[in-house]
Amino acid sequence: MAKLGRLSQWALNFSDANWSKINQNLSGFALNDLGDVVTSAKELRNCLDKVIYSAEYKIRRPRIVTRLFNTSADTVWSWRPELWCGPIGKKGRVGVKSGLKLGQEVSIFHDCELQEISMRQVRNTRRDDLAPFGFVMDIYNFEGTFFSVAIDFPDDAIANMSTRHIVLMETRIQSEKPLEIFGRLNVRHGPNVEHIVRPLFIDDNMAMIEFDLGYLRLNQKRIGQVWLDLIFSEPAMNQIKISDISFHRRPRAEF
């Protein structure tokens, strides 16, 4: 890895001193010479802007590592959907229709005919971000009755799932205006679907929900599909950013 040596540091300091001296003596320059000074200064500024942009981007951005989680010691399974792990084919959408799929696992559902909705995948840049990518939704004149983001769980989430487990959802989410958000976990077993609904209580852009499967009447041998609906109440004229979302499963306490 390259380091800034003493000679390079001296050259930077020397350059700074020279430009400071030029600035102090501008009143003594001829008009023709001032034009040359302006041209050189603009060229230097362009170069410096590029250096600053590149350096700050590398400082801020997290590495693309998709398996970083905040988990407890008894966690038996963890997962982050691909939308927050890596770039998807088409990063931005406008006029979003209900049923739109973003990658293989995330779908958007709503009943707003105007479709004044846009969304895009963004690169996370904060040093404490565990997910390399985030997801931004801009919702304008929304006259529908529901708006949700549905996340399909992978097959390994279903394996060995039982009423002796708790499923946790952790998310980092922020919005321009306060709004109510609910998480609904859906478990299909045979022809039946069981639901657990929990509100999100956001503290410093962070929220966590626990879904205790012990309260469900499940035929554990016939669990075939699990998905979560993130439901947004009255989302009109709001921007919502989901910087991260991850799911974990652990055993529930035995009494």
Same-domain pairing of 229 and 184: yes
Regarding predicted confidence, which is higher, 255 or 21?
21
> Around 229, how many Cα atoms within 13 Å sit in the side-chain half-sphere?
17
Same-domain pairing of 55 and 98: no
In terms of Cβ atoms closer than 10 Å to its own Cβ (0-12, 13-18, 19+), residue 206 is: middle
Within a domain: 70: no
Tokens, residue 1: 């890895």
Same-domain pairing of 34 and 101: no
Same-domain pairing of 110 and 40: no
Distances (CA, A) of 29 to 3, 34, 150: 38, 6, 67
Could you tell me the residue range of the domain that residue 38 belongs to?
6-60
In this prediction, residue 107 carries a pLDDT of 95
Alpha carbon distance 122, 239 (integer Å): 14
SS3 227: strand
Within a domain: 65: no
Specify the residue for token string 């962070």: 206
Same-domain pairing of 199 and 145: yes
In this prediction, residue 68 carries a pLDDT of 58
- The answer to whether residues 146 and 231 touch, using CB atoms and an 8 Å cutoff, is yes
Which of 192, 160, 176, 173 has its CA nearest to residue 241?
173
Mean pLDDT of 22-51: 78
Q: φ, ψ for residue 62 (rounded to 5)?
A: -80, 155
29-46 core/surface letters (b: 16 or more CB in 10 A; e: else) = eeeeeeeeeeeeeeeeee
In this prediction, residue 13 carries a pLDDT of 61
Lowest mean pLDDT among 66-80, 99-113, 123-137, 184-198: 66-80
What strands lie across the sheet with 223-233, from one edge to the other? 100-102, 106-110, 147-152, 223-233, 180-189, 192-199
In this prediction, residue 159 carries a pLDDT of 84
Within a domain: 71: no
Res 56 pLDDT > 60: no
Same-domain pairing of 91 and 26: no
- Mean pLDDT score of the chain: 83
